[in-house]
Structure formats: structure tokens, C-alpha cells
């Protein structure tokens, strides 16, 4: 994926500085692949908070500024995330104007270490990247990207020479993470998230899970739309990037995760969609670039 040399977004809040505290009890290191993938791509904050409630309830992290002396890797992480966010801003500004005759309002993106305060409550890195509709911000602990590579083995179809170049291995899968969370922001702007929240509050658990699946698949489709139009604008894709995204989508499917973790699959408990569904809807957005094709609530998924 070609990303260097383009505009870096100003809508970044860097809270990676010291003083945020440590959320002892749940460490991102050593977690099984299933949990690492479960948190991948926009876990519902309410579900994740329940899982980490006892740990985060006693944490009082301070709001901090960025790193005073970032390492080259930390600086590159900031530039990468900022560039991808800028790409989403430029892409969705164009798409909103051309397809919706509306003005796009970009989200803020918060980079943090360990623990962070959000409009949805206190969160920790074990939750993975997430979007909070209350403050309309995306939250990412960039250590997740490193963990994603090592734990999930997301490499796409790149050869060993390419993989030796750290600025390429897994970049598009990481951009997919950011684009998916921005997809949830778009759902908030369009009123979809609020409608889903109301419907789930009146539904059975199984019905609520199905609504969650449809919402997540739509965010996958919207991330595909971003890739479609960003490719037209910047020609940022390289050989193997799409395969890399498909590999990521496959490994975060509910069926793949459940089978990996327990050896069994329980469809009624799905909240994000199967591997096949997640790959299908990303590809739908990627191929068409049309928001009308991402109506997962009124189509067979």
C-alpha cells in the first residue's frame, strides 16, 4: 500500500503521552487469536465494557498530550494513521457531495496507550479499535496493529522480500481497520446507528444480534467504498493489498473465531457476521463505490 507523501489529517488527538496509567488484569499480550480478532474492527463498546468492567472501573487515566520523544516507529504510526484518516476525509467529502448532496463532517481520531476516557466511558487497549457515537470519535491504540500482525498473521499474498519491508506488511489491513471505524461514524451521521440502537432495545437477544451483524457488515461495505474511491484518487493499492484485506475479513468472521476458540459455531450468537459475509460486503463496496449498494438492512446478507 502506497501511503507516504500524502496529506496528514489535523483531526488527530494524540493521547499517547505518559500518565494514562495501567489497566492491570487484562493484557493485550498473550491473548489468543480468537480474542485478538474478536476485538478487531469496531467491537460494540457496550459489549466490550462489560467484559472489562471490573478492570476499568478503578482506572482514572489522566488526559495527556502526545509523546514528547516518540520513537521512529511511534512517529510512523502517527503519520500512517493520520494519512489514512485524511484519505477517508477526502474520499467521504467527495462521496457525500456527489451521492448524497450533503456535507461530510469528519470524526476525530484518538490515539492512546493502555487506557483512555471516551464519551462512551473508560476503555482499554484490550477492546481494540472502536468508534464512540456519543463523542463521534474513533479510538485506536496503535499497539493493536503490531499485535494484529503477530497474533493473526495478516500478511496477504506478499512475498518474503515484500514482507521484509516493514512499511508494507499489513498496511492495507490496518487501513481497513480505520476505514471500518469511520464507516460507523458515517452510520451515525446518517442516523442509522440511532435506529439500530432503538430497534435492539426492543428486540430479543437473537434479533438484536442480527441487527448488530447487519450494522457491522454495512461498515465493512462502507470501508470498501472508501477503498474504491481512494484508489481512483490516489492509486494507493499495490499487488496483494486486496488479498490482504480479504484475509483479514476472513479471520474476523464470527464463525472463524468461534470455531478457532471452541471448535463449535453458534450462528444465533453472531454479532459481526461470518467470514464469507464480511468478505462479500467489503467487496461489494469496493466494486461499486455506490452507497445504495451497502443497504445491508434490506438485502439478504
Q: Answer yes or no: are the C-beta atoms of 214 and 270 closer than 8 Å.
A: no
Domain assignment present for residue 74? The answer is: yes
What tens digit of pLDDT does each residue of 94-130 get?
999 999 999 999 999 999 988 889 999 888 777 788 9
Give the domain range for residue 71.
12-294
Q: What's the rounded Cα separation, in Å, for the pair 223 and 176?
A: 7
Which residues touch 80 (CB under 8 Å, ≥6 apart)?
3, 171, 174
Domain assignment present for residue 92? The answer is: yes
Residue appearing with cell numbers 489529517? 9
Domain assignment present for residue 300? The answer is: no
Domain assignment present for residue 81? The answer is: yes
Provide the pLDDT confidence category of residue 29 given band limits of 50, 70 and 90: very low
Q: What's the rounded Cα separation, in Å, for the pair 173 and 151?
A: 14
Domain assignment present for residue 72? The answer is: yes
Q: Is the pLDDT confidence value at 261 over 50?
A: yes
What tens digit of pLDDT does each residue of 65-90 get?
567 677 888 888 889 999 999 999 99
Q: What's the rounded Cα separation, in Å, for the pair 89 and 81?
A: 12
Q: What's the rounded Cα separation, in Å, for the pair 155 and 170?
A: 6
State the pLDDT at residue 153. Answer: 57
Number of domains, the chain:
1
Q: Answer yes or no: are the C-beta atoms of 128 and 179 closer than 8 Å.
A: no
What tens digit of pLDDT does each residue of 127-165 get?
788 999 999 999 998 777 777 766 555 444 433 333 333
State the pLDDT at residue 180. Answer: 94
Domain assignment present for residue 299? The answer is: no
Q: Nearest Cα to 129, choosing from 137, 119, 139? A: 139
Domain assignment present for residue 125? The answer is: yes
Domain assignment present for residue 6? The answer is: no
What tens digit of pLDDT does each residue of 191-246 get?
999 999 999 999 999 999 999 999 999 999 999 999 999 999 999 999 888 888 78
Amino acid at each position: 500500500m502506497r501511503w507516504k507523501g500524502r496529506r496528514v489529517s489535523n483531526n488527530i488527538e494524540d493521547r499517547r503521552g505518559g500518565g494514562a496509567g495501567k489497566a492491570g488484569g487484562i493484557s493485550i499480550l498473550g491473548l489468543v487469536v480468537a480474542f485478538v480478532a474478536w476485538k478487531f474492527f469496531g467491537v460494540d463498546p457496550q459489549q466490550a465494557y462489560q467484559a472489562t468492567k471490573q478492570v476499568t472501573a478503578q482506572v482514572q487515566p489522566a488526559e495527556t498530550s502526545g509523546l514528547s520523544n516518540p520513537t521512529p516507529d511511534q512517529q510512523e504510526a502517527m503519520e500512517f494513521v493520520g494519512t489514512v484518516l485524511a484519505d477517508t476525509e477526502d474520499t467521504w467529502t467527495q462521496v457525500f457531495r456527489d451521492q448524497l448532496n450533503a456535507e461530510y463532517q469528519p470524526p476525530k481520531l484518538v490515539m492512546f496507550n493502555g487506557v483512555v476516557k471516551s464519551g462512551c466511558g473508560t476503555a482499554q487497549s484490550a477492546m481494540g479499535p472502536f468508534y464512540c457515537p456519543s463523542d463521534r470519535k474513533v479510538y485506536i491504540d496503535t499497539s493493536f496493529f503490531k499485535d494484529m500482525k503477530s497474533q493473526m498473521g495478516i500478511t496477504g499474498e506478499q512475498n518474503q522480500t515484500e514482507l521484509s519491508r516493514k512499511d508494507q506488511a499489513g498496511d492495507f489491513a490496518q487501513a481497513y481497520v480505520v476505514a471500518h471505524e469511520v464507516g460507523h461514524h458515517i452510520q451515525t451521521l446518517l442516523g442509522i446507528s440511532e435506529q439500530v440502537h432503538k430497534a435492539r432495545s426492543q428486540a430479543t437477544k437473537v434479533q438484536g444480534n442480527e441487527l448488530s451483524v447487519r450494522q457491522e457488515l454495512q461498515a465493512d461495505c462502507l470501508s470498501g467504498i472508501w477503498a474504491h474511491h481512494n484508489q481512483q484518487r490516489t492509486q494507493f493499492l499495490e499487488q496483494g493489498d486486496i488479498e490482504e484485506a480479504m484475509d483479514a475479513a476472513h479471520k474476523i468472521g464470527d464463525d472463524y473465531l468461534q470455531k478457532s476458540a471452541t471448535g463449535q459455531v453458534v450462528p444465533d450468537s453472531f454479532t459481526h457476521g461470518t467470514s464469507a459475509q464480511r468478505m462479500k460486503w467489503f467487496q461489494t463496496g469496493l466494486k461499486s463505490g455506490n452507497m445504495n449498494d451497502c443497504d445491508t438492512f434490506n438485502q439478504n446478507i
